[in-house]
């Protein structure tokens, strides 16, 4: 949503918004992956940049606002993004960097309030009701967060300040990039009802089509539709839910216990691959990447899963739960390779493979005693040495020997 599309109250410093009771903040980093990637590439700031795999069959992870003006969006096929913005610079993702900055940002949030609900690496809800007496008004707290993130991490964030989660998230979207929008409690209804129905939380493509068929195009239309009509058209759950949102009612609280349920990586090949040896090397690379991200998050996982997508886009997954949780690259790869080999694919043409760790728990207190005998302890220490080298010299500075050949021969076999 663009700030220009919707009416926001015009205020000056002499007449700031009334943020009384607006104790829910939604903080969202601006083009997070792109902004973080450009910290080491300052010459690209202000230019179109796309973050994602270099091959045409990869997907866009993020893009700078200069590239977004051309229609480039996250999750878009890289081939389409290149056509839309051929002048853009393509930068490979650095997931360790993103994880490190995300942890630092979340630590900043924790200094504000213990009630933080992360939604992803780059956004979170905060309940600051208990922080007002110590830190000032909600809007002042939001500005403090924006200043701290910029000063300490070198990136910007946008903040929505509102009485509820739903309205705070809408407001942060309207604040982008690098802004703050406060929606006073007595202006919530007018603010929400000017929006299109697709802005409501929980309205996907199918629900939006159903609403439009009813002649409902704005949130105000939903608000003034009889509840029984909405129930008949959308069901006993969705109908009342959207009706409540249309009147600014959102009873959900900020939940501080959310954590990542899984961490993984996948790779789409430039050409369909039917060489098992190449797939094994790819699984090794993805296992290393996934394990590093698990360790960076201070977690270990119990379940290893793989994803295989064939040339016809058919996708299958397989998983195995280990006896003990692990963050060891070697263990993850051995399990992923075993899962793949058990498929017996032989010369099947494969478009994508992925490796994921599930059943994540904190490293502290995790029952990993089974990993502490001499051989496994050695592998764990080796992984941590690689992590330290990567942090100092960049991701990929140390890699398994079999992947050096892969780096020299980037085009997969196309037999």
Which CATH number fits the domain that encloses residue 201?
1.10.150.20
- Strand arrangement, sheet containing 180-182: 116-120, 123-127, 24-29, 157-162, 180-182
202 in any annotated domain: yes
CATH code (residue 142): 3.30.70.270
pLDDT band at 13 (very low <50, low <70, confident <90, very high): very low
Q: Which of 351, 347, 282 is nearest to 58 (CA)?
A: 351
Residues 106 and 42 both lie in one domain:
no
Of the pLDDT bands very low, low, confident and very high (cuts 50, 70, 90), residue 375 is very low
Q: Nearest Cα to 30, choosing from 22, 21, 40, 38?
A: 38
Same domain, 269 and 398: yes
For the chain, what percentages of helix, strand and coil (3-state, to nearest 5) are there? Answer: 45, 20, 35
Q: Which domain holds residue 91?
A: 33-95
How far lies 258's CA from each of 168, 227, 250, 261, in Å? 18, 33, 19, 9
Q: Domain tally for the chain?
A: 4
Indicate the SS3 state at residue 266. strand
Q: Are residues 105 and 144 in the same domain?
A: yes
The residue ranking higher by pLDDT, 286 or 364, is 286
Q: Do 401 and 291 fall into the same domain? A: yes
Which of 359 and 128 is assigned the larger pLDDT? 128
CATH number at residue 342: 3.30.1490.100
Does the pLDDT value for residue 278 go beyond 90? yes
pLDDT at residue 327 is higher than 80: yes
Any domain includes 170: yes
What is the rounded CA–CA span in Å between residue 254 and residue 118?
Answer: 10
Alpha carbons 120 and 34: distance in angstroms, whole number = 15
pTM greater than the 0.85 cutoff: no
Please give the annotated binding residues, written as ranges.
28, 122
> Does 60 lie in the same domain as 169?
no
* Same domain as 393, residue 269: yes
Give the model confidence (pLDDT) of 382-412 as tens digits: 565 665 555 554 545 455 555 555 444 444 5
pLDDT of residue 354: 95
CATH number for position 38: 3.40.1170.60
Q: Higher pLDDT residue, 107 or 369? A: 107
- Residue 276 sits in the same domain as residue 372: yes
Check: CB of residue 279 under 8 Å from CB of residue 355: no
Region 267-281 average pLDDT: 90
Any domain includes 252 = no
Looking at 45, 76, 95, the residue that finishes a domain is 95
Tell me 39's DSSP state: G
pLDDT confidence of 3, banded at 50, 70, 90? Answer: very low
Residue 45 main-chain phi, psi, to 5 deg: -60, 130
Whether residues 133 and 176 share a domain: the answer is: yes
Q: Is 14 left (phi over 0), alpha (psi -120 to 50) or beta?
A: alpha
- Binding residues for Mg(2+), as ranges, are 28, 122
Domain presence at residue 254: no
Q: Are 160 and 171 in contact (CB under 8 A)?
A: yes
My answer on whether 218 and 158 are in the same domain is: no
pLDDT at residue 370 tops 50: no
Q: Decide if 251 is inside a domain.
A: no
* Residues contacting 124, CB < 8 A, separation 6+: 26, 27, 106, 109, 116, 117, 118
136-140, 217-221, 266-270, 392-396: the lowest-pLDDT one: 392-396
Bridge partners for 60 per DSSP: 52
Highest mean predicted confidence (pLDDT) among 84-93, 194-203, 228-237: 84-93
Both 361 and 323 in a single domain? yes
Catalytic residues: 123
**Is residue 307 domain-shared with residue 200, that is, in the same domain?**
no
- Assess contact for 67 and 83: CB atoms under 8 A: no
């Amino acid at each position: 949503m663009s700030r220009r599309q919707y009416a926001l109250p015009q205020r000056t410093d002499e007449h700031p918004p009334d943020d009384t009771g607006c104790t829910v903040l939604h903080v969202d980093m601006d083009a997070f992956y792109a902004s973080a990637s450009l910290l080491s590439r300052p010459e690209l700031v202000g230019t179109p940049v796309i973050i994602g795999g270099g091959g045409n069959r990869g997907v866009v992870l993020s893009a700078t606002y200069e590239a977004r003006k051309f229609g480039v969006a996250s999750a878009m096929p890289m081939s389409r993004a290149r056509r839309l913005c051929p002048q853009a610079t393509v930068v490979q993702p650095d997931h360790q960097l993103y994880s490190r900055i995300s942890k630092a940002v979340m630590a900043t949030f924790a200094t504000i309030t213990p009630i933080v609900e992360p939604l992803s690496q780059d956004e979170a809800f905060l309940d600051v009701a208990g922080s007002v007496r110590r830190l000032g008004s909600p809007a002042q707290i939001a500005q403090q967060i924006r200043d701290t993130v910029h000063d300490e991490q070198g990136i910007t964030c946008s903040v929505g300040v509102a009485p509820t989660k739903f309205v705070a998230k809408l407001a942060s979207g309207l604040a982008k990039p690098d802004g703050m929008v406060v929606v006073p409690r007595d202006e919530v209804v007018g603010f929400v009802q000017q929006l299109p129905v697709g802005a409501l939380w929980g309205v996907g493509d199918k629900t939006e089509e159903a609403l439009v068929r009813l002649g409902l195009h704005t949130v105000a239309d939903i608000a003034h539709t009889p509840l029984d009509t909405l129930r008949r058209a959308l069901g006993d759950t969705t109908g009342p839910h959207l009706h409540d949102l249309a009147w600014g009612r959102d009873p959900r609280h900020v939940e501080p216990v959310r954590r990542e349920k899984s961490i993984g990586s996948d790779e789409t090949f430039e050409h369909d691959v039917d060489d098992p040896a190449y797939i094994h090397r790819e699984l090794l690379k993805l296992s290393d990447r996934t394990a590093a991200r698990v360790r960076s998050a201070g977690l270990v996982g119990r379940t290893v899963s793989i994803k295989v997508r064939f040339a016809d886009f058919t996708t299958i997954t397989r998983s195995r739960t280990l006896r003990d949780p692990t963050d060891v690259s070697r263990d993850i790869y051995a399990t992923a390779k075993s899962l793949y080999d058990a498929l017996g694919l032989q010369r099947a043409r494969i478009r994508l493979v992925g490796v994921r760790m599930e059943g994540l728990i904190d490293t502290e207190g995790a029952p990993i005693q089974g990993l502490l005998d001499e051989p496994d302890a050695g592998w764990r220490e080796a992984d941590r040495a690689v992590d330290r080298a990567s942090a100092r010299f960049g991701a990929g500075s140390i890699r398994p020997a079999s992947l050096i050949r892969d780096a020299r021969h980037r085009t997969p076999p196309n037999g």
